Chains A and B, each alone.
Chain A
């Protein structure tokens, strides 16, 4: 289980030649259990990416702690990262290499002990990469690239998935590939944290959601529980009811 306790992240922004400090993530506590899809929902700029980057170990918290099966990243960075997979709209793939080379490189980075080729074949079959496995990534379509991105994530058989706006900007078919993959991994008892600003999407696949706004958790629970509590029919309305008509640019 990944346990996030009172996590804060402070940044400095410059407006009108004045430096101003603000919390992108402010006192957030979350639990990610195996076999569950945890949704982090909120508008753009709510702090979702910062939170997930901290969970993924690529950004350091200002205060608070993250425990990965009771271990901290400070002392066990490599071991913890080996158990995780991070997929985001910001994590792009290397264009000059082929999916095969990318997957092999990934296995090497993760110190995968078994036969590389056998594992690549398994994943290639699962995600239907065979027809373009040896083509350069720069020559693949968006959907094919997305499948390669997913393959990169699951090739080392991680325990936890951190998925940040993974379907953002994708067409309906490419999005479905990701959503199917998430559901399949849940069945394999993997812990999944999934951030999105598509409320309907989250409603369909998440077991538990955290609504986040201005870096703070404003509501949490199962999608059904949140809807019942706010007396709404969907999470989008729930969100707006909780924030009380606050305007967004």
Chain B
């Protein structure tokens, strides 16, 4: 154990003195919250309608004074001449044709602007219809409210606060960013401590010391794991701070519970630690087979994509967690994280995820220890 700690101390010292390793470890976690905040602002801009925005609608009839008042209140500009041509030119986004008491709203359902204009046109007609209904009833000495509001309709949303699209989107992508940051953070030190050390000739020096190859590799594995864990935990802390900022400053997220509670945070941190251990083992295993630093880097590049891709698929395809998914590496972490975030999790799946990770790490460590006894790996 003492020798493992000595190797770990040596490796940690090297990581912290190497500018590249340090930047890989810290830059992404720092950039990530800014990206998330920016993304949330974009959502808000997309969602918020500009109250000053004007809608151009064509009418094939003359509007009376009441109608003119309604469309003015709704920011509608009316056009009465050559409305079909104006629509073709794009000067108006919809037009209304009237035949007796029938009103026809003409719009393009594939055009988002036309769709919004159609909604405005509907709003205008609804308000005008209400006005006519009120007048008719008053003429007949009937209280309009008794007829029009004969029943009252209220809405209760059944959507869970934690199952909000925007929350799911932001939290899932935040976790994918964390996964990617951990992978990148593990890649560089894993390459440096194996292929890099081989290339620099210091591995042979290390092998001359009275240390078992098993202790060397466990020490190296722990150092890479520690580096990726620092990145993961730092990313999580900064992401949580970004979520606090988002929920306080971006109105779209104000009433939604985007900040993880203690239980969610604890399980998320455990997932981050598990993933860091697994990815570190995989990186060391792949990098130690390489002859040079460059070769190791090119071999490890696909791992960055592999680590994120399954998570994206599970998010887009809205897959439900089952036992098989809970033990499938890469998919399980993002899936369990999403479940925890929605407060819809099964402890059995969480436990099976941890057990499968421990088993995988054991297998990976066994392979690396074997590799480090191989002369082919050590001396090419």
Contacts and interface: CB of A to CB of B under 8 A. Distances in A.
A91 B379 contact: no
A94 B14 contact: yes
Interface string B11-34: 001100110000000000000000
A79 B209 CA distance: 11
A91 B209 contact: no
A141 interface: no
A92 B14 contact: no
A85 B210 CA distance: 10
Interface in B288-319: none
B211 A59 contact: no
A91 B205 contact: yes
A225 interface: no
B17 A96 contact: yes
Interface string B83-124: 000000000000000000000000000000000000000000
Interface string A39-76: 00000000000000000111110000000000000000
Interface stretch (A106-114, A123-131, A172-180, A234-242): A106-114
Nearest to B15: A96
Nearest to B7: A109
A58 B205 CA distance: 10
A11 to B, nearest CB: 9
B10 A58 contact: no
A82 B209 CA distance: 7
A91 B3 CA distance: 20
Contact of B204 (A77, A79, A88): A88
A109 B210 contact: yes
Contact of A109 (B3, B18, B204): B3
B35 interface: no
B122 to A, nearest CB: 70
A30 B120 CA distance: 98
Q: On chain A, which size bracket covers the interface?
A: 20 to 34
A59 B205 contact: no
Q: On chain B, which size bracket covers the interface?
A: 20 to 34
A110 B210 contact: yes
Nearest to A79: B210
A88 B17 CA distance: 26
Which among B200, B205, B379 has the greatest number of chain A C-beta atoms within 10 A? B205
Interface in B181-221: 200-202, 204-205, 207-212
A81 B208 contact: yes
A243 interface: no
B208 A60 contact: no
Given A91-B205, A92-B201, A94-B202, A78 B210 contact: yes
A59 B204 CA distance: 10
9 closest Cβ pairs, A-B complex: A92-B201, A81-B210, A86-B208, A96-B17, A91-B205, A58-B207, A109-B209, A78-B210, A82-B210
25 contacts: A57-B208, A59-B375, A59-B379, A60-B375, A77-B210, A77-B212, A78-B210, A78-B212, A79-B210, A81-B208, A81-B209, A91-B201, A91-B204, A92-B202, A92-B204, A92-B205, A93-B205, A94-B10, A96-B13, A96-B14, A96-B17, A105-B6, A109-B6, A109-B211, A152-B205
Interface of A: 56-60, 77-79, 81-82, 84-86, 88, 90-97, 101, 105-106, 108-111, 152
Given A58-B207, A90-B204, A110-B210, 13 more contacts: A77-B210, A78-B211, A81-B208, A91-B202, A91-B204, A91-B208, A92-B201, A92-B202, A95-B200, A97-B17, A105-B10, A109-B3, A152-B205
